[in-house]
Chain A
Amino acid sequence: MAPSTAHRRLLPTIKLPSWPWRITWLYLGLVLFLPIGGLLLKASGIGAADFWAAATAPEAVATYKISFGLALVASLINGVFGLIIAWALVRSSFPGKRLLDALIDLPFALPTAVAGLALTAVYSTNGWLGAPLLQLFGLEVSFTWVGVGVAMVFISLPFVVRTVEPVLRALEREQEEAAWSLGATPTQTVFRVVLPQLLPAILAGVAQGYSRAVGEYGSVVMISSNVPFKDLITPTLIVQKLEEYDIPSATVIGTVMLIFSLLSLLVINLIQIWGQRYSGELKSAA
C-alpha cells in the first residue's frame, strides 16, 4: 500500500507504520477510499458523451436548480439569523439563554426522518403553522418547494451559529471601544469593525450549511411531493433512478454530487485558511 511507504519517509525511525496508523489506513481504505473509488471507476466507464447527456438531462437539471438554488436561499437566511443568534448568545444575557443554546444543536442530533415528520405535520394545511399560513397568505408549504426550503433551513441552522460564536467571543472589545472613542456610531462600529472580522466565520458557516442542505435527503423526501420539475431534489432523483434500475444515470448524477461535495469541502477549507490569516494579520497589526 502506498501510504505505508509514505510514512516510512515521514517517520524514519520506524520501519513499519505503528498499529494506530495501520488501523487508520485500513479502515479509511475499506469504508471511504474503496466506495469512492468504486463510484468514480463506474462513472469513468460510462464515456464522456453519455456522461454529459445523463448529467445534463432536463429532469436532472431541474433537480439541480431546486437542490442547489433552495439550499443557497436556506443557507443565506441562516447566515443572517445565525449571526443574530450567535450575537444574542455571546453578547446578551436573557432568561432561557441556556435552552436556546441547547436547542441550536437539535438539528444535528435529531434524526432527519423525525425532523421530516415533524416539519411536514407542522406545515401541512391543517398544521400549527401550515393552517394560518394558508388562511392568511394562501401559502401551502408541505408538499411544495417551499416545504423543501423549510426543511433545508431547519437542518442548516446550527452551522453559522457554531462557526461565528467562538470568533465573536474572542473578539477584543478594545477595538470597538477605540471605534466609539474615535466618534463612530454603534451602527458604524458594527459594520466597519465587527462584521469584517466575523466575515470568514460567517462564510464558512454558510458554506457548510449549504453543503449539508444540498445533500440532505431524509427530511426533504418527507416534506416534498417528489414531483419532477416541481419539488424533486437531486438526492431523491438518484434514489428514483436506482429504483428504476437506471444505474448509469444514478452513477452519473451521484458523481456530480460527489464532485460538488469535494469542491465545497475545498472552498470551506480555503475560507478557513483565509480566516486564520486574516485574524493573524489583525493581531500583528494591533
Chain B
Amino acid sequence: MSVSQDLRLQPPPAPAPSPVHRAPERPPWSALLIPLIACLYVGVVILLPALNVVVGAFAKGLGTFLEVFSDADLLSALRLTLLVALVAVPANAIFGLAAATAIARRHFRGKALLLTIIDLPFSISPVVVGLMLVLLYSPTHGLFGGLVEASGFKILFSWPSIVMATIIVSFPFMAREVIPTLEEEGWDQEEAARTLGANDWQVFWKVTLPSVRWAALYGLILTAARCLGEFGAVAVVSGNIAGLTQTLPLFVEDAYKQYHTELAYGAALILAGVAIVSLLLKLLLERLLEQDKQALRAER
C-alpha cells in the first residue's frame, strides 16, 4: 500500500500529542534540534540577563541588599513612581474601558483606522513622546509656554509632565486587551438588561464589565507594569533630579552611571519583580479567560 493511500484512508486526525513525530521521513535530529536552538537562543538573549539582575542584587550578601532600601534617593524615587502610577493607571483604565465600549461590537467607517490610532504610542519612540511634551509645555519654547508661565504652575521638570508622559506611553494596553474579548460577546445580555429597565450605567457596570473582567484585569496589569517601568519619555520631561523628579527606572540608570552598583541592582530587582509578577498573573488570567470562553461556548 502506498503512502498516499495510507494517509488518505486515515480517519479525521485526532489531536496528536507530539505532532513532530508524525512526519514520516523527518530525521529525528531535527525534532530535537529546533527546541534546542530555541532554548539556547532564549537562554543567552533573555535568561542570562534576567539572572544577572538577581545575582547582581545579592552579590554582596543579603545585608548589603537590605541596606539599599534605606537610601533616601531610592525611597524618594520609589514613592514618585508609585504616585505617578496611582494617577496614570486609573486614568488609562477609564479611557480604555470607554474606548472599548464605544468601539467594540460596532461597525462603522474608519474603525480600523481608529484602532491603529489608539496603537500609535507603541510605535512612537518614547523620546519623541517626551519631546512633544517639551514643545507644548516648556515655558521658553513650548506652544503653551506663555500660558504655563502666566499660571505659575510647573509642568516640565515636575510631576504633571511625568504623569502625562507615562499616560501617553501606556494608554493603549487596556483598550487593546478589552476590545477583542468584547467583540466575541454578543449584545444579548445587554439587551436583556435594558428590557428589564437598566440604564446605560447599570448595563455597563453590571453586565459589560463583568463579562470582560479578566481581560480588563490583564489590561490593568500591563498598564501598571508599563507605568512603573517607563524610562525614555519620563527621562526627557522630568529633568532627572535625584530625590525630586527621579523615578525608579531613572534611578537605576543614574546609580549605575555613578558606580553605585548595589543601589542600581537593588532598584532594578524591585522593577524586575514587578515584571515577573505581571507575567505570572498573565499565565493565571489566560487560564481563567479560557475557562470563561469554554463556559460561554457550553451555554450556547
Contacts from A to B (Cβ < 8 Å): 10-11, 18-21, 23-24, 27-28, 31-32, 34-36, 38-39, 41-42, 81, 84-85, 87-89, 91-94, 96-97, 100, 102-107, 109-122, 127-129, 153-154, 157, 173-174, 176-177, 180-182, 185-186, 211-212, 214-218, 221-222, 234-236, 238-239, 242, 247, 250-251, 254, 257-258, 261-262, 264-265, 269
Contacts and interface: CB of A to CB of B under 8 A. Distances in A.
Contacts of A234: 125
Contact of B25 (A88, A177, A186, A216): A186
A217 B160 CA distance: 22
* Interface residue SS majority, chain B: helix
20 contacts: A18-B102, A24-B99, A27-B171, A42-B135, A84-B38, A97-B35, A109-B278, A109-B279, A113-B271, A117-B264, A118-B56, A128-B48, A214-B125, A217-B126, A218-B249, A235-B128, A238-B131, A261-B124, A264-B123, A269-B116
Contacts of B86: none
A173 B13 contact: yes
- In terms of DSSP, what is the predominant structure of the interface of chain A? helix
A87 B127 contact: no
Interface in B237-268: 249-250, 252-253, 256, 264-265, 268
Contacts of A115: 49
A217 B47 CA distance: 21
B98 interface: yes
Contacts of A251: 131, 135
Given A38-B136, A84-B41, A180 B24 contact: yes
Nearest to A222: B253
A186 B164 contact: no
Given A93-B18, A102-B283, A114 B37 contact: no
B256 A119 contact: no
Residue among B134, B200, B235 having the largest count of chain A Cβ atoms under 10 Å: B134
B249 to A, nearest CB: 4
Interface of B: 3-4, 7-8, 13, 17-20, 22-26, 30-31, 34-35, 37-39, 41-42, 44-50, 52-53, 56, 94-95, 98-99, 101-103, 108-109, 112, 116-129, 131-136, 138, 141-143, 164, 167-168, 171, 200, 225, 228-232, 235-236, 249-250, 252-253, 256, 264-265, 268, 271-272, 274-276, 278-279, 282-283
B94 A242 contact: no
Contacts of A153: 45
A93 B272 contact: no
A88 B126 CA distance: 33
Contact of A129 (B7, B42, B48): B48
A113 B275 contact: no
A239 B235 contact: yes
Nearest to A248: B141
Contact of B256 (A39, A103, A117): A117
A254 B131 contact: yes
Contacts of A84: 34, 37-38, 41
A286 to B, nearest CB: 15
Nearest to B265: A117
Contacts of B126: 215, 217-218, 235
B232 A103 contact: no
A242 B131 contact: yes
B144 to A, nearest CB: 8
